[in-house]
Amino acid sequence: MTLNNLVYALLLSISSLLSNSVIANPNSSVGDALTTLRAIELKLTKPVEVIDYKNKENQQQRIATGELLILSLYLNSYYLGEVAAIKSEQSVQVSLSDLFDILQFAMNVDASNRIAQGVGANQQPLFLNAAVTPAVFTSPTQSYLLAKNQITIEDDIYVDIQSLHNTLNLEFNIDYPDLELLISSDSPLPVEQQRYRQSRNLKSPNKRSPPTLPWKASPYKALSSPVADLQLNFTASDNRHSTNYSLLGTQDFAYLSAEYFLSGRSTDLLTNSRLTFTKQNLDKEIKNSFMPTEISFGDVIATQVGNSYSSQYARGVKVSNNVTNRKIVNNQVNLSGAIQPGWDVELYRNEILIDQQLSLADGRYIFDNIHLLFGANNFELIFYGPQGQVERKSDYYFVDGNQLKQGQGNYELSVTEQGKQLLNNNVSSSQGQGWQVAGRYEQGLTDNISVYTATSGQKNTDDDLLKYAFGTNISLFDRLLLNANVEKNNNNEQEFEFTARTQIAEQSLLFSATNRTDEQQQDFNSYQINLAGGLMNNTYGRLSYQNNVLYDDSDTRGRFKQVSNQFNYSYSGFALSNQLLWQQDDSSKSTFGTTRFQKRFGRTYTRFGIDYSISPVSELVSYEAEFSRNLGRDLQAELTLTDSLRNNIQSAELGLNWQSDKFSLTSNLNYNSNDDWQLGIYSRFSLGFDVEHNTYFVSKRSLTNTGSLMLRVFLDQNNNGIMDDDEHGVAGVKVKGVHNYRQAITDEHGVALLTSMPANRTTDIILDRNSFEDPFLIPANEGFSITPRAGFVEYMDFALNNASEVEGVVYQQKGDTTQIQPFANIALLNEKGDQVAQTQAAYDGYYLFTDLKPGQYKAVIDDEYKQRKQLKNTQNITVNLSPQGDVVMGVDLTLKALSATTGSIANAGSFSSLNILKIYYRLIAPRIEQQEAFYMHDKAKNKFILALAYATNSSPELISVCDSVKAQGLKCVVETHKILH
């Protein structure tokens, strides 16, 4: 919001207050209100000028001596707040309570006892004693005597600015026409230090706090809204043409999550399929027990045993209690997910390309056994569609210790029929065909040591296969991670792997050694060292790298050596990466590499790539140039030029991408120097059915891999939290997912659809009040948090209320009359006694509460204020605010001075701490007979007094009480005190 907008928003609020004041006071005129508004606007918008008050004597003479002023306080040209002051003959006397509160000095001002004491700037002690004449103001360096015309004591202590300058080492300048008090200081004051800390926190990296709003569950349903991602593809070339489709869908069915995948082409309508039913329970109480958190059946992936991971689906069932929610095995991770056929996937870790998969056909991608580095592992998956589409997905793992804590156990069990699926009985499988039972269990022995074991057995047609594995994970000194894994089977095959991970100077170092023996007793040994990290991350850009050294020794394939280096540099939209690879085996060696450069020039995005060879022949292998430009809001054109120098083939590809909010349509034409051509048309969209309103909705973003929220915002006219038949939705409201950075605008029915919400990642859901067309509407609650489920459309309602206002004036009763009580701190309590709002009355005692929800409220004066002013309540006022929105005026609060009574107490001791007093009383209570003990606070001495008895005078009963206490060897004295009540 700009300064002008802020000014006029403030003026709008003030004008509302003034209008109420004009209504309340018939003698006020509209012209007076407008004059006041103009004066306030000028104060808020004009630049601050430091004006020497000595040169403005003619202006200060217009203000009568003794008049109460409200001054705007500025510190080094920064507005702090308003302070009360009294015009004196020479200058002004400033309220010490207001001044010290705003400057955040730890000072206690006691007007009744005519003293002020505490610490000021730089923790320097200050003490003002106005109980003597003349008053004495003491600082660490010297004491100052205050004449009668330099100090005034009424409801507060007011001291002239010259005396404050001498004592506090502050420069004071006053601008009488604009009623501004300007102060400056050579050393930073507490309020300046706080402002600096706040600005420093704002400049720090944006680390979003975890969700805090009340969580709403997303339970499984008997039948939920179905969603599906549909892809249609037509290709034609000089010798053939084909039409393909794929359908990936999810929905709740029979209180389970059902996921299905179907793909086919014009000659075979069903080439691939799978169907999986899953149920998850991520409740914390379940996760901390041995109960399963996830059950899947249908087409599932068998449990991993050791480092051998199979990504193939087989019909069966799988059960697990994954207590960490992260599927990490031996500090390795398998990244997999659903994808439409024909797409390529690149995997980057910390901006370095580490793997890729091309032309996937089975609707899934899988990167298995990816070693996690010590520290941060920022994975980014980049998906490239067959017609030039580009999509991204990120994942993050941080490794600095054991995954399991002491006492935690993690298991997974599966029973599958390899080689068969629910809708296909003849599937090729690397596991062979037959029933397989597999299980894995890991136990945290301590926070730093865990052990695991796994086994599988498979019934094959020819021979049964039994396999088992065991190992350990050890964390040493929170700096070194060790993993050891042993695998064996009944075919005499075995494998041992040892891995060590650490971080040195913020660079991740990994070492692994593997020994494998096959069925013919042939040995294979492999050793690998990986060093990766960032070398630079500042205003000049970011530079990251990865070095890898690999040595293999095999009885069958001989020795193989490989050294690779990858780096990536990025700066302000420019990126440069290079991969250099050296390889040598028993017969040859070679060195080759790839360089990529990308940069945006205006509206054109460019990407250049070169593949080259250094040895045995130094040459350019191929180069490629890509150009992409937006032709409009939804239309994008792409041109790709490729030259394969080894094959002497040049090609050009032109593509047009139309990306609407509902779907994407892409076409491309490829032509090469051999006169080969290919034309492709591709469309992709996601379709969902709204079961609540019996309508369809379409999105270009995937609805199956992420969660969706359909939120209905309505005006709750009766405050029952339910949208009744006669209530309507509110259009134009912006709905925000705070932690997943999603937002949407409600339509004419008050419904907003948030899509592409990361699954199993909790986020707060709130409404943006700046988007409300009606400024008198407020959210009925702060919001809520949900944990989206993949492929599930959650339905929620968000109620709005008509806002109410409460206003009144604070008075002090003095005999039969009342007078204004300014600057009182007022709290508003709900029916439960919880504080919902707080404000401070103005100089004329006026206060206002706005944006109040329906309900019963009570306005109360702050106890600290009443204690400081020695006042007490005279009444309790409760107001009831209706759902229609009320403006309740005249909620006036009246205080009166505390009554003073002189009486005598049996003083059993004075203490500087109330806790010490209570502990002392517990120690002596068994030795004395008094049961009506109480304590008093002597503000002058800042002591807490333990009183064992009270009487209106020094009666024999009090003397007797003290004598009995003294008989126990304890101190006690009868004293007379003034008691306020």
Query: pLDDT class for 430, splitting at 50, 70, 90?
Result: low
The residues, any chain, with a CB within 8 Å of residue 64's CB and separated by 6 or more, are 87
Domain match, 58 and 175 both? yes
Residue 866 lies in a domain: yes
Compute CA distances 951 → 9, 904, 934, whole Å.
Answer: 59, 5, 13
The residues, any chain, with a CB within 8 Å of residue 610's CB and separated by 6 or more, are 594, 595, 620, 622, 623, 624
Residues 49-64, mean pLDDT to the nearest whole number: 47
Query: pLDDT class for 205, splitting at 50, 70, 90?
Result: very low
Domain match, 96 and 192 both? yes
pLDDT at 97: 85
Residue 498 lies in a domain: no
456-474 pLDDT tens trace: 998 877 778 899 999 998 8
Compute CA distances 913 → 31, 560, 944, 972, whole Å.
Answer: 56, 76, 7, 19
Q: Domain ends where: 753, 774, 796?
A: 796
Phi/psi class of residue 225: alpha, beta or left (left: φ > 0; alpha: ψ in -120 to 50)? beta
The answer, yes or no, to whether residue 279 has pLDDT greater than 70, is: yes
Sheet holding 835-840, edge to edge: 835-840, 825-829, 855-861, 878-881
Domain around 914: 900-980
Domain match, 828 and 890 both? yes
Residue 960 lies in a domain: yes
Residue 647 lies in a domain: no
Domain match, 65 and 199 both? yes
The answer, yes or no, to whether residue 138 has pLDDT greater than 90, is: no
Residues 386-398, mean pLDDT to the nearest whole number: 65
Q: Which residue has the higher pLDDT, 43 or 329?
A: 329
Q: Domain ends where: 763, 796, 829?
A: 796
The answer, yes or no, to whether residue 784 has pLDDT greater than 70, is: yes
Instruction: Answer for the pair 367, 250: CB distance below 8 angstroms, yes or no.
Output: no
Q: Which residue has the higher pLDDT, 123 or 244?
A: 244
Residue 82 sits in a domain whose CATH number is 3.10.20
**In this structure, which long-range contacts are made by residues 500-507, counting pairs with CB atoms below 8 Å and at least 24 apart in sequence?**
501/331, 501/372, 501/373, 501/374, 501/399, 502/374, 503/374, 503/375, 503/479, 506/375, 506/533, 506/534, 507/531, 507/532, 507/533
Domain match, 864 and 740 both? no
The answer, yes or no, to whether residue 83 has pLDDT greater than 80, is: yes
Domain match, 946 and 887 both? no
Residue 962 lies in a domain: yes
Domain match, 69 and 196 both? yes
Domain match, 768 and 847 both? no
Q: Which residue has the higher pLDDT, 354 or 642?
A: 642
Domain match, 904 and 893 both? no
Q: Which residue has the higher pLDDT, 392 or 24?
A: 392
Residue 571 lies in a domain: no
Compute CA distances 807 → 91, 532, 840, 878, 886, whole Å.
Answer: 35, 64, 12, 13, 11
The answer, yes or no, to whether residue 537 has pLDDT greater than 90, is: no
pLDDT at 358: 61
E strands, 660-782, in order: 663-672, 677-690, 695-699, 707-715, 734-737, 742-745, 751-757, 763-768, 777-779
pLDDT at 953: 79
The answer, yes or no, to whether residue 954 has pLDDT greater than 80, is: no
Does the predicted TM-score (pTM) go above 0.85?
no
The residues, any chain, with a CB within 8 Å of residue 56's CB and separated by 6 or more, are 174, 175, 176, 177
pLDDT at 22: 35
Residue 916 sits in a domain whose CATH number is 3.30.70.1070
Highest mean pLDDT among 143-152, 166-175, 586-595, 891-900: 586-595
User: Please, where are the H alpha helices in 815-910?
Assistant: 863-869
pLDDT at 772: 93
Residue 820 lies in a domain: yes
Q: State the angle between helix axes of 3-24 and 30-45 in degrees (0 to 180), rounded to the nearest 10.
A: 150
Residues 131-157, mean pLDDT to the nearest whole number: 85
- Token digits of residue 758: 């990361």
pLDDT at 283: 59
Residues 397-411, mean pLDDT to the nearest whole number: 77
Query: pLDDT class for 12, splitting at 50, 70, 90?
Result: very low
> What is d(CA 200, CA 397) in angstroms, rounded to the nearest whole number?
28
Residue 662 lies in a domain: no
Residues 585-594, mean pLDDT to the nearest whole number: 92
For residue 434, give the amino acid letter.
Answer: G
**What's the mean per-residue pLDDT of the chain?**
82
Q: State the angle between helix axes of 96-103 and 190-203 in degrees (0 to 180), rounded to the nearest 10.
A: 30
Domain match, 913 and 813 both? no
Q: CA dihedral in degrees (162, 166, 170, 173; nearest 10)? A: 20
The answer, yes or no, to whether residue 25 has pLDDT greater than 60, is: no
Q: What is the largest CA-CA distance in the chain?
A: 122
Structural domains in the chain (count): 4
The answer, yes or no, to whether residue 535 has pLDDT greater than 90, is: no
Q: Domain ends where: 882, 897, 912?
A: 897
DSSP-derived secondary structure for 443-475: EESSSSEEEEEEEEEEEESS--EEEEEEEEEEE
Domain match, 78 and 184 both? yes
pLDDT at 5: 43
The answer, yes or no, to whether residue 876 has pLDDT greater than 70, is: yes
pLDDT at 204: 37
Residue 839 sits in a domain whose CATH number is 2.60.40.10
Query: pLDDT class for 59, splitting at 50, 70, 90?
Result: very low
Domain match, 872 and 779 both? no
Q: Which residues pair with 611 in a beta bridge?
A: 594, 622
